[in-house]
């Protein structure tokens, strides 16, 4: 892999990691500590922020994938395993989890809370897996310099 492609991959990976840490592990719960923030208002803000985060993540998956492919080093090799895992998690979140969480937030905002859900817990668990995957992948790419 050439240095330019590897540099783009490293920068994109750590940018992605920064977004996830800032949004999922700070903004998500911190907004509810602000004065006068109600659950429906916080959920409305969360829906907007997580939609934006998801678009950023999808864009970074595309940038990293393109860098790998265009550098002519794309092989189904274990050196990309942690990237594949993080990308798979984003796809699961995009296609299943975020729509389910969005529907639930819409119900709560409308005052139709249907009880407890484990979806937030599942989301948090795979966010931890994604963060670990991004750290490992980024460090592995750094070692290639």
Number of domains in the chain: 1
Q: For residues 86 and 129, what is the distance between their CA atoms, to the nearest angstrom?
A: 8
CB-count burial class (<10 Å; 0-12, 13-18, 19+) for 68: buried
pLDDT at 53: 97
Whether this prediction's pTM lies above 0.75 is answered by yes
3-class SS at 141?
A: helix
The confidence score (pLDDT) of residue 78 equals 80
> How do residues 108-132 score in pLDDT, each as one tens digit?
889 887 777 899 999 999 999 999 9
What residues make up the domain containing 88? 3-143
As a whole number of angstroms, the distance between CA 15 and CA 118 comes to 29
Nearest to 67 by CA among 8, 137, 144: 8
Residues 50 and 71: their CA atoms lie apart, in Å, by: 31
On the question of pLDDT at 73 being above 70, the answer is: no
**pLDDT, tens digit, 9 for 90 and up, residues 26-70:** 998 898 899 999 989 999 999 999 999 999 999 999 999 999 888
Judged against a pLDDT cut of 70, whether residue 74 lies above it is answered with: no
What is the overall mean pLDDT for the chain? 91
**Is 18 a residue whose pLDDT tops 80?**
yes
| Contact (CB, 8 A) for 12 and 87 | no
> Would the pLDDT of 76 be above 90?
no
């Amino acid at each position: 892999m050439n240095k330019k492609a590897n540099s783009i991959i490293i920068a994109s990976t750590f940018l992605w990691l920064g977004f996830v840490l800032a949004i999922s592990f700070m903004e998500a719960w911190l907004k509810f500590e602000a004065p006068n923030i109600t659950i429906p208002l916080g959920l409305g803000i969360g829906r907007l922020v997580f939609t934006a985060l998801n678009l950023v993540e999808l864009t970074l998956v595309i940038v990293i994938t393109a860098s790998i492919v265009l550098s002519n080093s794309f092989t189904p090799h274990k050196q990309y395993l942690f990237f594949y895992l993080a990308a798979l998690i984003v796809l699961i979140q995009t296609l299943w989890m975020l729509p389910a969480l969005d529907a639930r937030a819409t119900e709560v905002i409308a005052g139709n809370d249907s009880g407890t859900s484990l979806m937030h817990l599942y989301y948090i668990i795979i966010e931890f897996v994604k963060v670990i995957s991004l750290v490992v992948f980024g460090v592995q790419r750094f070692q290639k310099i």
